[in-house]
Amino acid sequence: MPKPFRNTRIQFRFPRAASFLAALAALVTVLIAPPAAALAGNGAKPPDESRPVYSYEQAVRESVWVDTGLDGDGDGRTDRVAVDVIRPREAAEQGIRVPVIMDASPYYACCGRGNESQKKTYDAQGRPLQFPLYYDNYFVPRGYAVALVDLTGTSRSDGCTDVGGRSDVLSAKAVVDWLGGRARGYASARGRTAVRAGWSTGAVGMIGKSYDGTIANAVAATGVPGLRTVVPISAISSWYDYYFAQGAALFGSGPDGLADRVESAAARGRCQAVQRALREGAPRSGDWTPLWEERDYVKDAGRVRASVLAVHGMQDLNVRTQHFGQWWDALAREGVERKVWLSQAGHVDPFDLRREEWVRTLHRWFDHYLLGYDNGVEREPMADVERAPGQWATDAVWPPRGTSATTVRPAAGPVPGVGTLGLLPAPAGAASVFTDDPALDESDWAAHATESTPAKASFLTGPLARDLRLSGSSRVRLTVTPSTGSAHLTAVLVDLGPAVIRNYAGAGEGIRTLSGRTCWGAGTSADTGCFRVTEPDTAQVAHTVFSRGWADLGHHAGLEEGEVLTPGRPYTITLALGATDHVVPAGHRLALIVAGTDAGLVQPASTRPRLTLDLAGTAAELPVTGGWPAFLRATRGGPGGGPSGPGGGSGGLRQPYDAGPPVTAPGLRPPAVTALP
């Protein structure tokens, strides 16, 4: 495992002497103007990357209020959103236009950004001093502007927060339009002095974690001109799926609670109608409503024209990997140029996981898509995947070539409630019975996967003869008969075997923050560009839950409207499990566990049902690299271990059943879900 940086200062400082300006002019001529693409056309060898040739200390720092064209708070005036901009002064003086890195967020005043919860700060005249995160420190000296946008209803902006709705999205889009000369900006919140972004090339890259990355996804889905790339980190792709899982309510308040947390005090007073609309439009029934339709960006993936560099923690139980998986798959269908980083952490920024490599990658990504450098970043491996804490591998495409949906099926074993998992269907009439226990969670079930317990049904392969890799999203079709009028269901995939993993259930969700700092770019006393270093926070476990899905059985027919179940009647529902990339090593076992309420993640149903699982009507579709032959080889010991066709092998069902010893070492208990993405 590579050692973390400790007290290393990677920092650029610029002299104030006139000699610097002379050298700067020469460097600008060589490195910045004309653009790299034009240099190649003139026969000159272009530079390999943008260089820190501009003064950060002398950069222009200004605030602009952009007219959104909306009147969300109903005060008779169109809303303006505050945009704090920092850009190279020397470029403006020489008439050189620069591209823009933009982070639109509701958190700059209420909650802060990054691992250290940085907020914007201003001097006595209201001029911006601190720009949270490192984008300004690192990229402004390299010929970029950075624009940090206060979403409507937050900090210094007008309007009302509508949590991913029209106001949020169009306010951020309006800033992209202003940067491209298509919208109006003003020097103050109420004044009439117009401000134009004549210094901008109109090329914009949006970036952000969580809510911020969600807005980047949403603006990309409008197809706005000028948005060249987006970098969504742990981002939502459909707000319904943040608050519900196929009809089952997840813990936390609704969108009105989040709006109340991020809105400015002034907005809370004027935005009661919007708050009411959020409450009424998002009933806790789990039904799909027009409010959720407006906040579903996946359906608009066909409008995306920007490239996408997506980042997600595979153990993120805040913004779960369902969001990444469905967005990625939709972008793939549309042929969008894209790249992905998948970590073993929870809701963590890659800057705090793999700092040096992340900044290098982001630098080259923005250089290519915003400055036109032909640096080959788009031809490099599509995926970086963390295999163990701090240990990464790459794939040319993701999911990797040869990955295909493989249908595996549960069957009964000699121990009640503990069956097998293979390729052949169970005989008609085979069943497994369990009773929902809202006090138990996935860790409890996995710890007793090999034992008969009343609250779950588990299905296991034997110890694998070879590594088995799953890459992508899974689905589990369940045929279930409830004993009561309501039921919630959970399905999880578990790697049964010892491992050292990131402690995603810990306070840092897989990282530990240390006292040392590293500096990224230039800085001032008000904005140093120096950040506390981190190291992996690890845990020794006996099992790893690596993919999950939940549903309300009352929504088996669709999300539009749930129904009261008829006790004794069988229902079939398909649970979507979160995207993952996990290798179950040889010697470990793969388990599928089906249970009821997942405590701490899903709110329990109104009743506590006894559930009869029809094994013949149940199957899991897994994204196996190598497809069913790879599954067969892993579970049978080799290509000669069974018949050659997908229907001929048993995947271990004909072997003597051996559940192995009980799994008694700990796993990780999921952290409580918060109401803040």
What are the catalytic residues?
210, 316, 347
Q: How do beta strands 431-435 and 610-614 pair?
A: antiparallel
E strand residue ranges, 3-131? 9-11, 60-67, 80-87, 98-105, 121-122, 128-130
CA 138 to chain centre: 23
Q: Residue 8 gets which letter from DSSP?
A: -
E strands present in 156-290 = 185-186, 194-195, 200-209, 227-233, 244-245, 248-249
User: Cα(277)–Cα(255) distance, rounded to whole angstroms?
Assistant: 10
Which residue pairs, CB below 8 angstroms and at least 24 apart, start in 15-19?
A: 16/57
How far is C-alpha 367 from the geometric centre of its chain's CA atoms? 23
Give yes or no for a cis peptide into 34 (omega within 30° of 0). yes
Query: Do the Cβ atoms of 394 and 6 come closer than 8 Å?
Result: no
Q: Output the six-digit token pair for 132.
A: 């949270």
Four-residue CA torsion sign, 155, 159, 165, 169: negative
Tell me if 102 sits within 8 A of 151, measured CB to CB.
no
Whose structure tokens read 């249908």? Answer: 407
Cα separation, 542 vs 495, in Å, equals 9
For residues 450 and 497, give the distance between their C-alpha atoms in angstroms, rounded to a whole number: 12
Q: Are 230 and 308 in contact (CB under 8 A)?
A: yes
Give the angle subtended at the CA of 198 by the CAs of 195 and 199, to the nearest 5°: 115
Contact call for residues 417 and 644 (beta carbons, < 8 A): no
| C-alpha distances out from residue 569 to 398, 480, 612, 619, Å | 41, 8, 10, 19
CB atoms < 10 A from the CB of 540, how many? 11
76-103 in b/e form (b: 16+ CB < 10 A) is eeebbbbbbbbbbbbbbeeebbbbbbbb
The contacts of residue 613 (CB under 8 Å, 6+ apart) are 410, 431, 432, 433, 434, 457, 478, 479, 480, 594
Tokens of 69: 């064209």
| Pairing verdict, β 145-150 and 98-105 | parallel
Query: Sign of torsion, CA 322 326 332 338?
Result: negative
352 DSSP 8-state letter = G
Alpha carbon distance 400, 394 (integer Å): 10
How far is residue 130 from each of residues 60, 69, 90, 200, 594, measured CA to CA in Å? 13, 29, 20, 21, 49
